[in-house]
Every structure is written in C-alpha cells, then in structure tokens.
Amino acid sequence: MSEQILLIDDDPLMLKVLEKVLTKAGFSVTCAKDGHEAIQKARETLFDLVISDVKMAGMDGLETLAEMNRIAPDSKKIIITGYANQDAPVKAIKLGVDDYFFKPFDAREFVRSVQASMEKYRISRERDQALQYIRDAYLAAIKSLALAIEKRSPYKEGHSARVAANALRIAKKMGFSRKRLDELELACHLHDLGEVEIKSEILDKPDVLTKEEWAQVREHPVSVRNTLGALTDLSSVLTTIRHHHERYDGTGYPDRLAGDKIPLPSRILHVAEAFDALTSSRPHRESREPQEALSVLNEEAGTQFDPEVIEAFISSFGEEEDRAQESVQDLLSDLARKSSRGLLHLARTCFSVGDRETASKAYQEILDARERMDDPDTFFLAAHDLSRIFWISGNVTKAVEMAASALDIARKNQLVLQEAKAVASLGLFNHTLGKPAQAEELLLQAMATVRNCQDVFEEAGIHLYLAYAYLGQEGKTSRVRDHLDSTLGISRLTNLGELYLRERKVLIPLLAFAFRESFHLDSLGPLISSLDKESLQALLTLMGNETHPARR
C-alpha cells in the first residue's frame, strides 16, 4: 500500500500540479482546498504525511498544522512558504514540522525530499513498532506490579515514573548505552516491588519505625529476587535494585558496599529516588522545592551519594536549558541555510528572466546572512551572480568588487572550479575596463583550471569570453573564430542552453560577428533561440548599425 499524503493549498493550480507530481512518484494523494476541509479529512483517514501551504485564506497553514498535531500527532508534516516569510518556518518548527520548502522550488528536489522523508519514516515506524511491541509486552506486567504497590500509598503514586525519568537523565549525562538505559529504566519501575511484602501501615507510618519494622523495610531490595529471580535476563536489573540503598561511605544496606563497589546504576537509582522523596510529600513532612532538594543531595555527596552522580544530576538541570537554546540556534541556522538556498533559487530564476532588481535584492539578502551560517557554495553563487548583474547594468567597478569577493570565498574554502569561474568573470570585466592584457591572462588562467577539472560546460563559457574579448582587436579575428568554433563544437556534445541564457550580453556581438562573417550560420539556431525579445532587438540593432555605418 502506498503512503497516504494529505495535500493542502488554496491555489487550485498549485494543488493540481503537486498532486500530479506526487501521484507520479507513487504516493496516494488526497487534496484539500483549505484548512477546514483538511481537518475533516484527517479525522476520517490516517495520513502518513501532511503537506500544507502557509498562506491560505481563513485558517492558515500553521493553524491547520497545530490542529493536525492534535488529531494526527504521528503524521509527518511539511510546509511550503514564500521566500520572504521568515517567521512561518520558525513557527512551524515549534509545531514539530519535519521539513519546509520555499517557493519557487524544483519539483524533482521536492519529490526526492518527500521520498527520503517517507523512507526514513517507514524504517523508523517499522522498527519502532517491533521494538514497542516487545517492550510493551515486557514492561506491562512489571509496571502493573509497581503501580499496584504505589496505589497502596497516597504518597507514592507516580513515584517509579518520576524516579525513572531522573535516573535516565543522569545516566544519559554519564554516557550510558541504549541497553544500559533500558535496564536502568526497568530497575526504576521494579525497585520498590519488594514492598509488596510490607504492610502499608508500616510504609506510611509517621512515627519512628520499630526495630522489627525497620528490618522488614531493609529487606525490600533483596526480596524482589524472590518474585523475579526466575527471569535470568533480569539479573543485571535485580543487581541494580539490590544495591540501590547502599551508601557511598559503606553504611547502607543490604551488603554495606562502598564507593565503586556499588554498581553505578544502583548509585544513580539511589540519587534519583532520594530526590523524588525530598520533592514529594510524606506523612511526617512537606515536599521541598527542586533547587532545595538538589542542595540537600549535594551536602551528602561523598557520604550517602556518589559525588560524580550528584554532579551529573545537578549539571543536567542547567544543561537542559542550554540544550534547548542550542536546539533553537541549530534550527535557526538550518532555517537560514534553507532560506538562503530558497532565495538563491528565486534569485537565479529572476535573473534568467531578466528581473535583475528582484534578483539583486535576493542575492544581497543571502550575502547579509554570512555571519549567521556556514554555506560557502551558496555565498559564492550569490556573490558571483551579483557581480554579473552589476556588469550587465554597466557598473563595472562594483562588478569587479563583487567578483573579487566571490573569488575570496572560493579560495578560502578551496572551491577550485568556483575559483576558476570568478577568475573568468574578472577577466571579462577587465576587458570591459579596457585592459585587454589582464583580461587575456585571467581568462587563460581560468581555462587551464576548468580543463583540469574536466568541466566542458564552463570551458565553453570561457571560450565565449575569449571570443568576446578578442572581438574588435586588430589581427585577432582568427582567435574569435577559433574560440567561437570551440564553443559550437562543445554544444554538439552537451546541451549549452543554460549557458546561452546566462551569456546573452556576450552572445549578441558574437552573433553579429558570425552573421557578418557568414560563420557557422547553420549552427547558430540554439544561440539565437536563447535570446529574449530585448536581446534579439539589441542584436538586430547592432547588425543594422554595422550594415549602415552612418547610424553609428
């Protein structure tokens, strides 16, 4: 059975496109045009994944996902949002979403991400279901026994669960493996099982216990073995329970062990139980505040308790806040990274269709985030593309400055091919500044690097730059023809459509040259088709001026 996906978007076209994309990828897709319809469908069907747009009329995507968390807490969740909306992903993270995409996005990347997410979910779900089945069956009887004992006393209800939570907190801090954590958790739920043989009047007695009563109480860690000793796989758990009332100074019971002779899980359980006892009401006293209880435990470190266990327990309280803060910072860093990559896609799309103003703003926003995250590839592309926008717009000085910044990013991060691209752009810009010698040197340097990298796409681009640079130079016509011929030769082996779109400004005078020289006219179709209306008009104007010198 294919995974069930609930897709929510109030844009009918987007809904239809995404439904088609996901259905083609093999998913079973149910569509909802708004949050209210989605919630109704979620009440009727269990979905593996919910994908929602954020900006919707009425109930928006975040409100919808908040309600989904209540109805279907186990479903994976993904949001789709516009690039400028920085608040939505942060709010969505707080709601527990698993991923988010910025419009516009590549459909193939979207499907790959959904497939990867669902594959991880399938594996995790199957593993968790198997483990949970075994674990539930294994713990059910044990916990029922522990609960039965706790219910005998109004002061101990929930005691084992609280002890387990704090013991695991300490054990994780001290580096316990998953297996040891599981064993410790079992010990926490079982540690008072021996009290089943003690009368409740003794357990809840507000006065001092008699010698006989105290003897009964001291037997409860040992008597657990009478109940569960036949379960050989619980031997380590039973050992932990037996010694959880030993004192670090050797004055505890039942065996008067001291220091490291006491099993570490027992020392942890001892601290966790003492903390719960201090923070819970008893017949003879009121409960204490957690910080006060920690102070009491700390005073007994080295006598009643293991100092290292006390230190781990106390530090875990502070680290809990630190971990929360680190988690937020990690999420914000990831958000910034994904936001920048979403912006990059948007910027490059805008650049390719001629919207240089929007592209410039998006590129600059990416570069402004350099202090907040580490993503050199994205920053290089932003700086490099922005340099080309400045060049196309006629601000060559700014173009050189931005290309130098891109070159610096590439060199610092050892991005060899990117370094060559930046050097090639600097060569192109130097040609525009009327520095032919520097331009030629930089372009030939870049050519050598891309050939070593065996990147024929970038090699074709540098051939275009060299042809452009030699154009109009006395005695260099043959070089123009050679480099243009090399570009066309590469185009027969690989699709250079993207290159032609990117290099329209370079192509226009080269096409005019080709028409004037009747050079490879049968091969110029792909180059001409890459020109937009504005570029085509510029080409016709240039050819007209060359045909009619008086217009120059």
Q: State the pLDDT at residue 444.
A: 96
Name the residue with higher pLDDT: 484 or 143: 484
* pLDDT tier for residue 76 given thresholds of 50, 70 and 90: confident
- With respect to residue 211, please indicate whether it lies within any of the assigned structural domains: yes
Range name among 167-171, 201-205, 248-252, 386-390 with the lowest pLDDT average:
201-205
- With beta carbons less than 8 A apart as the criterion, state whether 407 and 419 touch: yes
Summarised one tens digit per residue, pLDDT across range 314-344 is 888 766 555 544 544 554 455 456 566 666 7
Does residue 327 fall inside a structural domain?
no
Residues 22 and 84 in one domain: yes
Range of the domain at 195: 151-319
Q: Are residues 448 and 523 in the same domain?
A: yes
pLDDT score, position 138: 56
What are the pLDDT digits (tens) for 274-312?
999 899 877 666 889 988 999 999 999 999 999 999 999
Q: Residue 84's pLDDT is what? A: 47
pLDDT at 134: 59
81 pLDDT band (50/70/90 cuts)?
Answer: confident
Average pLDDT over residues 347-354: 74
The pLDDT score that the predictor gives to residue 95 is 73
Q: Say yes or no: 166 and 314 in one domain.
A: yes
Q: Quote the distance between the C-alpha of residue 121 and its chain's center.
A: 15
**Is the pLDDT reported for residue 110 higher than 80?**
yes
Whether 389 shows a pLDDT value over 80: the answer reads yes
Average pLDDT over residues 543-549: 53
Report the C-alpha gap between 365 and 111 in whole angstroms.
27
| Residue 329 maps to a domain | no
Residue 394 vs residue 347, higher pLDDT: 394
Of the listed ranges 253-267, 411-425, 503-517, the least confidently predicted one is 503-517
Give the CATH number for residue 118.
3.40.50.2300
| pLDDT at 29 (0 to 100) | 93
Question: Could you give the C-alpha distances from 268 to 152, 157, 296, in angstroms and in order?
Answer: 26, 21, 16
Together in a domain, 178 and 300: yes
Q: The sheet that has 49-53: what strands, in order across it?
A: 28-32, 4-8, 49-53, 76-82, 99-103
Residue 338 falls inside a structural domain: no
Same-domain status, 82 and 225? no
Q: Is there a domain that residue 374 lies in?
A: yes
In a domain, 137, yes or no: no
pLDDT at 253 over 60: yes
Does the pLDDT value for residue 547 go beyond 50? no
Q: How many domains does the chain have?
A: 3
135 located within any domain: no
Same domain, 314 and 353: no
Mean pLDDT of 129-143: 63
Last residue of a domain, which of 283, 302, 319?
Answer: 319
- Evaluate if residue 164 carries a pLDDT over 60: yes
Q: Give residue 324's pLDDT.
A: 45
Distance CA 4, CA 31 (A): 11
pLDDT at position 87:
65
- CB proximity list for 379: less than 8 A, separation 6 or greater: 340, 366, 367, 370, 409
Examine the domain organization and report whether 22 and 169 are in the same domain: no
d(CA 158, CA 287): 15
**377 shares a domain with 260:** no
- Same domain for 315 and 350, yes or no, is no
Which of 128 and 225 is assigned the larger pLDDT?
A: 225
- Are 309 and 354 in a shared domain? no
543: pLDDT strictly greater than 80 = no
Per the model's pLDDT, the better-predicted residue between 438 and 537 turns out to be: 438
Is residue 366 located within the same domain as residue 303?
no
User: What is the spatial distance between Cα 337 and Cα 330, in angstroms, rounded to a whole number?
Assistant: 10
Which residues have a Cβ under 8 Å from the Cβ of 77 and sit 6 or more positions away? 49, 50, 51, 52, 65, 68, 69, 92, 95, 96, 97, 98
Share of the chain above pLDDT 90, in %: 33
Query: In the predicted model, what is the mean pLDDT of the chain?
Result: 81
Q: Examine the pLDDT at 536 and tell me if it is beyond 80.
A: no
Q: Report percent pLDDT > 70 for the chain.
A: 79
Split at pLDDT 50, 70, 90, the class of 107 is confident
Same domain, 196 and 237: yes
Rounded to an integer, the average pLDDT of 164-185 is: 91
Residue 527 pLDDT grade (very low, low, confident, very high; cuts 50, 70, 90)? low
Q: How confident is the model at residue 231 (pLDDT cuts 50, 70, 90)?
A: low
Whole-number pLDDT of residue 272:
94
Whether the CB-CB separation of 239 and 224 falls below 8 Å is answered with no
DSSP for 221-264?
HHHHHHHHTT-GGGHHHHHHHHTTT--TTS--SSS---GGGS-H
Is residue 296 in some structural domain?
A: yes
